[in-house]
Structure 1
Amino acid sequence: MASGLPTIEGRWYLATVIDLATREVIGYAMAEHHRAELVTDALRMAAGRGDLQGGRIMHTDCGSEYTSGEFCYELRELDLRRSVCRFGLLKAEIGTAVQESREAARADVFRFIEVEYNRTRLRRHPEFGYLTPLETRARPQYDFTPAA
C-alpha cells in the first residue's frame, strides 16, 4: 500500500509489503511520488530478503501503481498472483504529525517498522498466542493457509 506522510518538504510516500501469515513488514520503500516504481521497489526489497515464495498471492489496493505494467511484470517474474482489495493505512499507526523533513519521516518509518512493528507488535492468534511478527517467522514452519 502507498500512503502519503506529511512533511514540511511535501508529501513522502510509503509502500509496504506485509506477510499476512506473520504480519511482518518484509519490504518497504519511500519516495516523493506514488508511481509504480515506488511499489515495485518495496516488492523488490521483500524479494531481496528472500521472503517471497512463488505461487503466493499478493494483495494490493486498486491504485494505478499496482495495475501498472511495471508492477505486473515484477509479479510475473516473482511468480506471484495479484488480488485487489482495500487496506487500512499503516500511517494511521505511525501517526499523521508533520515531520520537519523527508529524511526525518524516513527515519521515523524505519524505526517504527524495524524496531517497533516487527519486533514488539503482538499478534492475537488462537493457535500461535501472543507473538511478534519476527517470533512467528522464527517458529518451525507451519502451514499458515487458513482453513476453508
Structure 2
Amino acid sequence: MEAIRVMAGEHLPVQPACRVLHVAESGYYAWRDRPPSNRLVKHARLTEAIVGIHTASRGTYGRRRVHADTPPWHAQPGGVMPALACGGGVLASGV
C-alpha cells in the first residue's frame, strides 16, 4: 500500500498501480483514509523518545544505553528493541 501512496504522490495514476500490485482500489483508499493504528502511534512516540535520548547524548549513546534511559512506559515486549533497530537508522548499527 505504501508503494501505491508513493506513486500517487508522484502524480502517477492509482488504478494501474493497484492493478500491477494486485490490490483492490477500494482497499487502497480504505487503507489510505484509515486513521493510524494505536501500535503505529505508539511506535512513533517511542522512536521520537529514542532519537531524543540519542541526540541529547550528542550521538554517544548506543542501543544499550538508550534502552536503559528509555522511559518505563516503553519497556515492554516488542517495544524498545525493535524500535532501536529501525529508529530512523540512528542506532541501527548498535554499540
TM-score normalized with structure 2 length: 0.29
Greater Cα radius of gyration, structure 1 or 2: 2
TM-score normalized with structure 1 length: 0.22
Which has the larger helix fraction?
2
